[in-house]
Structure 1
Amino acid sequence: MAKPKQFTRAPKKQNPKSTEPRTADDYQEAADFEEETGGKWRAGDPAKSGRAFVRALEIYNQGLQKHPASFDLAYNKARLELEITQRPALVSHIGLPLVDLLRQTLESHRYALRLNEGNPDALFNTSQVLTSLAEQLSEAGETGTAIPLLQEALELLSACCSRQEMLLEQQQADFAEVEEGGVALEHMEEQPASTPGSEDSGQMATIENPVTAVDLLDTVHASLSALTTLVALVEHHALDSLGDMAHSLTETKAPMYIKMLSEGARESASFTVALDRANFVAAFADAQFSAYLVESSDYQTRLEDVFSIPNKDQHVTALTSEAEARTEFTLSVLTRYIRSPDFPVEVCWKQLKLAQDLYTKALKLESSPQIYLSRGDVEMLRHRIATLSNVKVSESVRRSAPTLAQNAQTYYKGAFRLAADEDGEVREKAGRRLAVSGRLRALLYGVELESAGARDKVLNRALEECVEEGLLDADLAEAAMGK
């Protein structure tokens, strides 16, 4: 998530519409008013919320035209754009596709950084935009464009971490000086920062928020997330250096920062780092396996070890992360052995059964449409294995195929019904998957289609999507298209 607003001084409490904005502070107050309005309507009326945020962005733009050197305006405009990109329900009311909005947000952040290149919050937020944009581009197949964005994000996070460590060290030194009878720097009278030729000469210098161990751990988390995305995209010769970076973060920096926390906060922080580490190791093992650097047995052992996290059954994110990792293992093994009779059916079947159990536990904690969708995908993948013709599959597994197809349809239907407006992408994907599972049951098991007309319009696209994601055999998909 984006770091919070920054101000040169506490904003005034007055009606921003009473006078035309003149100073940078006036524009900030006017933008704050619209942001507060947008926040009030965020849950109940996304359209009204979106209009208020657009007005806030327009005010920021007007303010920056008159006060181009105002870091507050530049930073807070960029921060608002980032917050909007993180809420799908709002993006649809902004008037730009998500990728274009992310590119615009990136330019806004780069502008803010040019005004204050050492601000840790600006560094952190810019890295978040770069990572989000890279993920979108990667999903669209633009790997070559996504990789340098992730590399830039990691560079900014490294700079952010260094800056945070320096500020924290300074804060500790100031505190020690107070303990010895001196005066802390933050208690000294603020000196105005003069911008030559600006109306705002005399405005107070921007005060950076105090840095805490939580901030440093946020940076570690963001770094590991970027690394986890990057390892799936780079060439195999780049993997070792990324592994070294992750090892330094999880084994050196994170433990050091956790020790700075209060005893009551350490357990939760340690769990988060352990899960971040597990997600990275799973992605790293998958990349190495796909590059033929390790065998499936090594890959499987790493998953068993890294997801042995205490109390994981109480955390939805941990359960779903492990389920995703085990599903990805099966997909990667299936890809390698797709034409081979040596495909390890029993190993992959067990991994998918574990993934199924993990999603079942997660659904008891949170009835999420995304979990229902993922659970349906596991059933689809199990169905694919049960119907493989070129490998030896036990009779009991083969007999389970009709039930697996029915289960997939049931879970997709659950995802479709549960998804609200803010889960638009999940709802659309569940609808496509529902069409596929229905068509498969009709083609293979003679089950009558339910309201097929509307779904046939997206069926070909949905079938191609399932083939691309490894859930469906290409020959079966072609047969389903021709039915």
Structure 2
Amino acid sequence: MAKPKQFTRPPKKTKAKSSGPRTADDYQEAADLEEETGGKWRAGDPAKSGRAFVRALEIYDQGLQKHPASFDLAYNKARLELEITQRPALVSHIGLPLVDLLRQTLESHRYALRLNEANPDALFNTSQVLTSLAEQLSEAGDTETAIPLLQEALELLSACCSRQEMLLEQQQADFAEAEEGGVALEDMEEQPASTPGSEDSGQMATIENPVTAADLLDTVHASLSALTTLVALVEHHALDSLGDMAHSLTETKAPMYIKMLSEDARESASFTVAFDRANFVAAFADAQFTAYLIESADYQTRLEDVFSIPNKDQHVAALTSEAEARTEFTLSVLTRYIGSPEFPVETCWKQLKLAQDLYTKAAKLESSARIYLSRGDVEMLRHRIAIMSNVKTSDSISRSAPTLVQNAQTYYKGAVKLTSDEDGELGEKAGRRLAVSGRLRVLLYGVELDFAGARDDMLNLALEECVEEGLMDGDLADAIMARGR
């Protein structure tokens, strides 16, 4: 998800100390102090940071009770909530589950939009909350609720883009007028005008940030991200319209915005757009394949074409995204051919080998728990293919089975060791899969456990996850569970 926009406020005014905040600006300054405290402790003490951010939110609430029309307070409360939702280590200290916190954050953003529905930063950030909430709900299986949230996010991003284009055009016109000897609009006013919904009573006025081509590209990026999530959820008859939207963004709008950048910024921006396009095309091809609109050969060709991005080997995100796309290809093909002797073993084996090679390159650039967990999953999926009894596999593939599950165990151990406070849930997942890979080696290859093992309830959860994600079949999971009792 794209990062939330930062809201720019005028420099703080020096004021005499009083018994407590009274004006909207007073409440903003008090909240600023708590936010600064929270920022200082964010890395070293998430609990202390979380308490400071909660105090800041309480101050925003108090300020809005007295000044309900203050867009500054409403916007900054919503912005802070959004920033908290993007940091798992902080969420655990706020006192709400992530989904509930996202719903609360969405209501805060909608309140801010009611005060100023044309503010591009508010439009952008609201779309990000909608996208994050939709992702959480879709992962929980609630696609019926997630789809309209993503559609609303795309509508807001379209409005945001239109507003940004209008503001940029106005800025360019003002600049041209100044160059020709006229007086630019900003020079005519000693004080910035209040935005709609702001209280005009001597308080500091809201200032909209000048719009740049980079802002427009951020909106393109966010739109493509939402589209990539949405194509996996909608019915097949809705795919063409989403594909047209993505095509317009990548082939028309993005190139136009890139031309507005300085020459030294264009290469990086072009890479980002190519990367976003690759992620969308991969998701789009998977959705079409799942709907029986294309065959696996077409799917594979699209992956080969769209991930041919220059210099991708220097970017962790590009390497891991391509690896994920190739893994998803194998899982989708496996689902279509489940139980059939026609399953294309060699094709899927090659895709998983490429995925593992990509993760290996990524790990050399960034050694993270997420990458090692993914490497373990790829080996588990390769192991599933290697022990298939209903399809013809080569001797080399069959013989690799014991090594593959041993490799998976090694990668899961690495993921556990690399887990930080920011990805605690990921570390727990790696720990569960470490237990599964160990039990798998015991059951199939007679290897003794070199660790304490796992409780039955944890092992059962881990096996359910592995079956649900396609890493092993249900019969093998049942056999492992039976052996563990």
**Normalising by structure 2, what TM-score?**
0.97
Aligned to 1:2: 4
Aligned to 1:252: 252
Q: Deviations over 1:344-394 (max 9, x none)?
A: 000000000000100000001000110000000000000000011110011
Q: Check whether the contact 2:116–2:196 (CA below 8 A) recurs between aligned residues.
A: no
Q: Deviations over 1:45-99 (max 9, x none)?
A: 0000000000000000000000000000000000000000000000000000000
How many angstroms apart in 2 are the aligned matches of 1:429 and 1:195? 48
Superposed counterparts of 1:282-431, under 5 Å: 282-431=282-431
* Cα displacement (A) at 1:182: 1.3
Aligned to 2:458: 458
Q: Check whether the contact 1:380–1:405 (CA below 8 A) recurs between aligned residues.
A: yes
Is 1:11 equivalent to 2:12 in the alignment? yes
Alpha-carbon spacing, 1:364–1:455, altered in 2? closer, same or farther (3 Å): farther
Alpha-carbon spacing, 1:195–1:424, altered in 2? closer, same or farther (3 Å): closer
Aligned to 1:47: 47
Q: Which runs of 5+ in 1 are unaligned?
A: none
* Cα displacement (A) at 1:453: 4.5
How many angstroms apart in 1 are the aligned matches of 2:358 and 2:196? 58
How many angstroms apart in 2 are the aligned matches of 1:231 and 1:253? 20
Q: Deviations over 1:454-473 (max 9, x none)?
A: 45440000000110000111
How many angstroms apart in 1 are the aligned matches of 2:290 and 2:194? 55
Q: Check whether the contact 1:38–1:50 (CA below 8 A) recurs between aligned residues.
A: yes
How many angstroms apart in 2 are the aligned matches of 1:422 and 1:199? 39
Amino acid at match of 1:4: Q
How many angstroms apart in 2 are the aligned matches of 1:119 and 1:249? 21
How many angstroms apart in 2 are the aligned matches of 1:134 and 1:339? 33
How many angstroms apart in 2 are the aligned matches of 1:174 and 1:467? 61
How many angstroms apart in 2 are the aligned matches of 1:195 and 1:475? 62
Q: Check whether the contact 1:24–1:200 (CA below 8 A) recurs between aligned residues.
A: no
How many angstroms apart in 2 are the aligned matches of 1:248 and 1:191? 36
* Cα displacement (A) at 1:184: 1.2
Amino acid at match of 1:222: A
* Cα displacement (A) at 1:191: 6.0
Aligned to 1:209: 209
**Normalising by structure 1, what TM-score?**
0.97
How many angstroms apart in 2 are the aligned matches of 1:230 and 1:195? 33
Aligned to 1:127: 127
How many angstroms apart in 1 are the aligned matches of 2:207 and 2:229? 33
How many angstroms apart in 2 are the aligned matches of 1:401 and 1:376? 13
Amino acid at match of 2:474: A
Is 1:73 equivalent to 2:54 in the alignment? no
Amino acid at match of 1:39: G
Aligned to 1:263: 263
Identity of aligned pairs, percent?
86
Superposed counterparts of 1:461-480, under 5 Å: 461-480=461-480
How many angstroms apart in 1 are the aligned matches of 2:269 and 2:184? 30
How many angstroms apart in 1 are the aligned matches of 2:406 and 2:472? 15
How many angstroms apart in 2 are the aligned matches of 1:37 and 1:202? 28
How many angstroms apart in 2 are the aligned matches of 1:148 and 1:119? 22
How many angstroms apart in 2 are the aligned matches of 1:466 and 1:355? 18
How many angstroms apart in 2 are the aligned matches of 1:452 and 1:338? 34
Aligned to 1:32: 32
Alpha-carbon spacing, 1:19–1:357, altered in 2? closer, same or farther (3 Å): same
Q: Check whether the contact 1:178–1:184 (CA below 8 A) recurs between aligned residues.
A: yes
How many angstroms apart in 2 are the aligned matches of 1:199 and 1:184? 26
Q: Check whether the contact 2:192–2:207 (CA below 8 A) recurs between aligned residues.
A: no
Amino acid at match of 1:214: A
Superposed counterparts of 1:139-158, under 5 Å: 139-158=139-158
Aligned to 1:96: 96
Superposed counterparts of 1:205-244, under 5 Å: 205-244=205-244
What SS is found at the alignment partner of 1:343?
Answer: coil
Alpha-carbon spacing, 1:273–1:199, altered in 2? closer, same or farther (3 Å): closer
* Cα displacement (A) at 1:200: 5.2
Q: Check whether the contact 2:54–2:94 (CA below 8 A) recurs between aligned residues.
A: yes
Q: 4+ residue runs of structure 1 moved beyond 6 angstroms? A: none
Q: Check whether the contact 1:161–1:216 (CA below 8 A) recurs between aligned residues.
A: yes
Aligned to 2:59: 59
How many angstroms apart in 1 are the aligned matches of 2:447 and 2:14? 65
Q: Which runs of 5+ in 2 are unaligned?
A: none
Alpha-carbon spacing, 1:397–1:13, altered in 2? closer, same or farther (3 Å): farther
* Cα displacement (A) at 1:12: 2.7
How many angstroms apart in 2 are the aligned matches of 1:85 and 1:19? 33
Q: Check whether the contact 2:24–2:203 (CA below 8 A) recurs between aligned residues.
A: no
